[in-house]
Structure 1
Amino acid sequence: MNELLHEPKTEPKPNTERHASGKRLLRFLNDWGIVLAILALIVFFAVTAPSFLQGANLINILRSISIVTIIAIGLTVSLTVNGFDLSVGSTATFASSLVVSFFVWYSLPLGLSIGLAILIALSVALVNVLLIVKFKIPDLFATLATMFIFEGVAMTYTGGGSISAGMPRLDGTPTVGMIPEAFLKISQAPWIILIMLAVVAVTHLFLNHTRHGRFLYIIGGNPEAAHLTGIPVHRYRALAYAIAGLLAAVGGILLASQVGSSQINAGSGYLMPAVAAAFIGSSFAGQGKPNALGTLVGACLVGILENGLVMLSVPYYSLNIIKGLVLALALATTYYRFRKK
C-alpha cells in the first residue's frame, strides 16, 4: 500500500524537452528575428565593405529611410484596422507635384504651399473613405483604383513632365517662382531624421497609449464585436485612412525637398519598401500586429540591405529582386505564424 501511495515521479521524456526547447527557439526567432537579421547584415557589410560603419554612411542610411518610414507608418495605421492602402505612393507623388508647383508656378510662401499641398492631397484619403466605408468596396481594390486615379491626376496636373525652378509651363509661359532654401533644408540631416523619429514616436504613443489607438486595434481584430461594444467602426476606419493619407503627403513633400523638383511618379518607388517595412515590423518583439516601432526597425532592415548592396556594387536594377525576396520571406513567416496560432 505504501508503495502505491509513494510512486516515484516519472522524469520528463527527452523528446518532450527537445520539443519544448525547439518551440522556445522558434518563438525567440519569430520575436527577435528582425533584430538578429539587422545585426547579421551589419557584421557582413562591415567585413565586406569597411566604410559601411563610418558615421557619415550611418547617417546616410537614416536619411535614406526617413521618407520610406514616414510613408510606411501611415500604411501601418491602415493595417491596424485590417485595411491596406495601396495609394500611398500616388499620394506622395501628388503632394510632391502640388508643393513644387505652388513655389514655381504661383510663387506662394513656404507655409501656405506646404499646408495647401497636404490639404489637397488628403482628397486621396477622402476618396478611399468614400469607396471603402460608404460603398463597401474591399480595401485592396478601392485603394488600387485610387492609386491609378491620382497617379493620373498628378501626371495630368504637371502635363506629364517634371516641375523645377526656371522651367516654363507647358504652354511656354515663363515662371519666376523659386523653391525656398528653407524648404530644401528640411530633407537634410538632422532635420529629416528628427521628423521621422517624431512621426514614429507620436504614432507609437497614439496606437499604444490612447483610447483611439486601442479602438483601431479592436476594429482590426473583430469589426463586428467592436460595433457591438459601441465603437464607431466607420469613423475609426476613416480616421485610419486619413492618417495614412496625411503621412503619405508629408513623405511626398519631403521627397520634393530632397530632389529639389517634382518628378513623374516620384512616389511610386516608395510603395514596395513601405509595404515591406510595415509587414516585417509586425513581428517585432512578438507583438504580432502592425506597430510603429516595428515599422521603423523594418525600414532599417530594408535600408541597411539596400545601402550595403550598393556599396558592394550590386547593380541597381537587381535591388528590387532582393527587396522583393525580403518582403516575400517576411510575409511567409508572418502568415505562417498566424496560421499556427
Structure 2
Amino acid sequence: MMAIRAKTARPVAEVAARPIGERAARLGYRYGLVAVLVAMVAVFALVRPAFGTYANALIVLQSVAIVAVVALGVTVSMATGGFDLSAGANVSFVVMVTALTMVRFNLTGGTAILTGLLAGLLVAGVNVLLTVVCRVPDLVATLGTMFLFQGLALIITSGQSVSAGMTVDGAPAPGRYTADFVWLGSGTIASVPVPVIVMLLLAAAAYVFLNHTRWGRALYAIGGNARAARLAGIRVERYRALAYVISGLCAAVGGILLSARLGRGDVGAGDPYLLQSVAAALIGFAVLGANRPNALGTLIGALFIGIMINGMTMLNAPYYAQTFVQGALLVGSLIVSYTLTPGRRERNTT
C-alpha cells in the first residue's frame, strides 16, 4: 500500500510543480534581460557615481546611436528571415563616399548626404539582385556584398584616409568637411546630441512600421513561412527587396552620422558596426519575450551593449576585453532565444 501511494504521489507532485517551473521560465525569459539591465545600471552607478549622471547618460546614448541605427536596418532584414552581413561594409563605404564628396570634389554637405544615401541604396541594390533576382542564399549573398564594397571603398580612395589638406595629384585637396555636415555628428538640440535624436526617430518609425502597418505584418509573415505567405497572396520578392532597401538606407544614415562625427573618412571605419548591430538585434529577441526581430528589443539591445562597455571603461577594464564581452552577450542571447525559449525546446525535440 505504501509503495502504491509513493508511485501515485510522485506524478501528482511533478504535475503540480511543472506549471510553477514553466511560469518561472516564462517570466525569466520575458523580463530577465530588462532585470539584468536595471541591475547592471544600479551596480555601475553604485561603484562609480559618475556613471549615474545625466551627462554620462547622454554619452552612452551617443555612443550607441549609430549602432542602433544600423541595427534597426538589420532587424528589418531579419524580419523576413534574411540577414544583412553587408551592413558594416555599407557604413564604411558611405563614410568614404561622403568624405570624398566634400574633401576631394569640394561639394556641399547636403550633396554629401545625398551621395551617402545613394551609396547605401547601391549596396542594397546589389543585395536585392543577389538574393531576390538570382536567389542566392542571404548569408552568402550579403557576405559577398560585404567584401565587394569593402574593396570598392579602398579602390576609390587608393587605400588612404580622406581628410582636409590631403594631397591629390600632387596638390592639396580643394575641399573640407562643412560645418552643417559636422553638426550632424557633434551638434545638439536642447542639449541632446543630434545622433541620439535621429536614433529615437528611426526607432519609433521602425516600431510603427513593423508592428502597426500591413507591410510590417507581411514581413513577419514571410519570415515565419515564406511559402505560406506566398500562398496567401503576399508578393514575397517585393517585400524582401523592400527589407534590404530599408537595411541599406539605415546603414547609410549610420555612415553619414559616423562620417560627421569623425570629420574624416577612415578606411574600415564601419567594420566594428557589423558585430555590434547584429548583437543588438539578436539580444532584442529576448526583450519582453518577443522571440522575433523587433525595433524596441533592438534599441534595448544596443543600450545593453553601450551600458556594458561604458561601465567597463569607467572600471578601467582593458579595452581589448570589450570585443570578448560583446561576443559573450551575443552567444548568451542566442542561447536564450533558441534554447531557453518556453515551448521551443519541446518543438525542437519532437
Give TM class, smaller chain: over 0.9
Paired residues of 2:71 and 2:277 also in contact (CA < 8 A): yes
**2:309 maps to 1:309:** no
Task: Name the counterpart of 1:5.
Answer: none
Any idea what the Cα deviations from partners look like across 1:233-280, whole Å, max 9, x if unmatched? 001000000100010011011000111111011001111110110001
Paired residues of 2:76 and 2:247 also in contact (CA < 8 A): yes
After TM superposition, list the pairs within 5 Å mapping 1:213-232 onto structure 2. Answer: 213-232=216-235
In the alignment, the residues of structure 2 paired with residue 172 and residue 279 of structure 1 have an alpha-carbon distance, to the nearest angstrom, of 48
Task: Name the counterpart of 1:150.
Answer: 149
Paired residues of 2:283 and 2:297 also in contact (CA < 8 A): yes
Paired residues of 2:119 and 2:252 also in contact (CA < 8 A): no
Task: Provide the aligned length of Structure 1 versus Structure 2.
Answer: 330
Range moving further from structure 2, 49-58 or 74-83: 49-58
**2:233 maps to 1:235:** no
In the alignment, the residues of structure 1 paired with residue 271 and residue 16 of structure 2 have an alpha-carbon distance, to the nearest angstrom, of 50
Any idea what the Cα deviations from partners look like across 1:198-234, whole Å, max 9, x if unmatched? 0000011011111111100000001011111111100
In the alignment, the residues of structure 2 paired with residue 117 and residue 168 of structure 1 have an alpha-carbon distance, to the nearest angstrom, of 23
Range moving further from structure 2, 239-248 or 34-43: 34-43
Any idea what the Cα deviations from partners look like across 1:287-333, whole Å, max 9, x if unmatched? 21100011000001000000000111111111101110110010111
In the alignment, the residues of structure 1 paired with residue 289 and residue 210 of structure 2 have an alpha-carbon distance, to the nearest angstrom, of 16
In the alignment, the residues of structure 1 paired with residue 43 and residue 131 of structure 2 have an alpha-carbon distance, to the nearest angstrom, of 44
After TM superposition, list the pairs within 5 Å mapping 1:60-209 onto structure 2. Answer: 60-169=59-168, 171-188=169-186, 189-209=192-212
Distance 1:218 1:153, change over 3 A: same
Quick one: which amino acid aligns to residue 249 of structure 1? Answer: A
Q: 1:158: how far off?
A: 1.1
Quick one: which amino acid aligns to residue 187 of structure 1? Answer: G
In the alignment, the residues of structure 2 paired with residue 59 and residue 254 of structure 1 have an alpha-carbon distance, to the nearest angstrom, of 16
Quick one: which amino acid aligns to residue 241 of structure 1? Answer: Y
- TM-score w.r.t. the length of structure 2 is 0.91
After TM superposition, list the pairs within 5 Å mapping 1:207-286 onto structure 2. Answer: 207-286=210-289
Percent of aligned positions that are identical: 44
Q: 1:102: how far off?
A: 0.5
Paired residues of 1:99 and 1:253 also in contact (CA < 8 A): yes
Q: 1:61: how far off?
A: 0.1
Paired residues of 2:77 and 2:243 also in contact (CA < 8 A): yes
Secondary structure at the aligned position of 1:187 is classed as helix
Show structure 1 runs of 5+ residues with no match: 1-9
Secondary structure at the aligned position of 1:60 is classed as helix
Structure 1 runs, 4 residues or longer, greater than 6 Å off: none
Q: 1:45: how far off?
A: 0.9
Q: 1:116: how far off?
A: 1.6
Show structure 2 runs of 5+ residues with no match: 1-8, 187-191
In the alignment, the residues of structure 2 paired with residue 133 and residue 230 of structure 1 have an alpha-carbon distance, to the nearest angstrom, of 17
**2:295 maps to 1:292:** yes
Q: 1:147: how far off?
A: 0.4
Paired residues of 1:223 and 1:233 also in contact (CA < 8 A): yes
Quick one: which amino acid aligns to residue 303 of structure 2? Answer: C
Secondary structure at the aligned position of 2:110 is classed as helix
In the alignment, the residues of structure 1 paired with residue 77 and residue 299 of structure 2 have an alpha-carbon distance, to the nearest angstrom, of 16
Q: 1:13: how far off?
A: 4.2
Task: Name the counterpart of 1:4.
Answer: none
In the alignment, the residues of structure 1 paired with residue 306 and residue 119 of structure 2 have an alpha-carbon distance, to the nearest angstrom, of 30
Paired residues of 1:163 and 1:261 also in contact (CA < 8 A): yes
Any idea what the Cα deviations from partners look like across 1:125-165, whole Å, max 9, x if unmatched? 11111111111111001101110110000011111111111
Range moving further from structure 2, 281-290 or 58-67: 281-290
Q: 1:339: how far off?
A: 3.6
Secondary structure at the aligned position of 1:160 is classed as coil
Quick one: which amino acid aligns to residue 312 of structure 1? Answer: L
- TM-score w.r.t. the length of structure 1 is 0.94
Distance 1:172 1:17, change over 3 A: farther
Quick one: which amino acid aligns to residue 176 of structure 1? Answer: P
Secondary structure at the aligned position of 1:62 is classed as helix
Range moving further from structure 2, 58-67 or 189-198: 189-198
Task: Name the counterpart of 1:6.
Answer: none
Paired residues of 2:110 and 2:181 also in contact (CA < 8 A): no
